[in-house]
Amino acid sequence: MNDRHLIVLNVNGEDHEALVEPRKTLLDVLRHDLGLTGAHAGCEHGVCGACTVLVDGEPVRACLVFAVQAEAADIRTVESLGRDGELSDLQEAFREHHGLQCGFCTPGFLMLAEGFLAQQPDAGREEIREALSANLCRCTGYQTIVDAVAATAARRLDTERETAP
Partner 1 sequence: MSDAAPQFDGRGGRWVGASVPRREDPRLLTGRGRFVDDIQLPGTLHASFVRSTVAHARITGIDLSATLAVDGVVAAYTAADLDLGDIVALLDRPPEEFAPTAMPILAREKVRFVGEPVALVVARDPYLAEDGAELAVVDYEPLPAIVSEETALAENAPLVHEEAPGNVLLDVSMFDTPGVDEAFADASGCVVEVVTRSGRQNALPLETRGVIASWDDHDDQLLVQMCTQVPHQVRTALARSLRVPERTVRVTVPDMGGGFGQKCVVGREEIAVAAAARRLNRPVKWIEDRREALTAGFLAREQRYRTRAAFDADGRITALDVDIVCDMGAYSCYPFTAGIEPLMASAEMPSVYQVPAYRVRARAITSNKAPTAPYRGVSRPQYVMAIERVMERAARELGVDPLDIRRRNLITRFPYTGVNGITYDPGTYRESLDLAEATLRDEGWYELRDSAAAEGRHIGIGFCCFSERTGYGSEAFAKRKMTVVPGFDISEIRMDTTGSVVVTSGTVNHGQSHETTLAQIVADRLGLHVDQVKLRQGDTERIAYGWGTFASRSVTIGGSAVALAATRLGELLCRIAAHLLDTSPDNVRLDGDGGVVQIDDPGRRASFEEIADVAYLRSHLLPKDVEPTLTATASFDVPGDGTFSNATHAVVVEADPGTGGVTILRYACVEDCGVVIHPKVVDGQCRGGIAQGIAGALFEEVTYADNGEPSAASFIDYLVPTATEIPDITVSHLETPCAFTENGAKGAGEGGTIGAPAAVLNAINDALRHTGVELDTTPVHPQTVLAALDAAADREMSVPS
118 to each of 42, 47, 123, 150, how far by Cα in Å?
Answer: 25, 22, 10, 13
- Strand arrangement, sheet containing 14-20: 14-20, 5-11, 74-76, 52-55, 58-61
Question: In this chain, which of 33, 69, 101, 127 binds ligand FES, going by CB under 6 A?
Answer: 101
- Is 61 a binding residue for ligand FES by CB under 6 A? The answer is yes
Contact residues: partner 1, CB under 8 A: 1-2, 21, 23-24, 31-32, 35-45, 47-48, 50, 77-79, 81-82, 87, 91, 94-96, 98, 100-107, 110, 129-130, 132-146
Applying CB under 6 A, which part among 9-17, 74-82, 84-92, 103-111 lies near ligand FES?
103-111
Q: Phi and psi for 74 in degrees, rounded to 5? A: -100, 110
* 67 binds ligand FES, rule: CB under 6 A: no
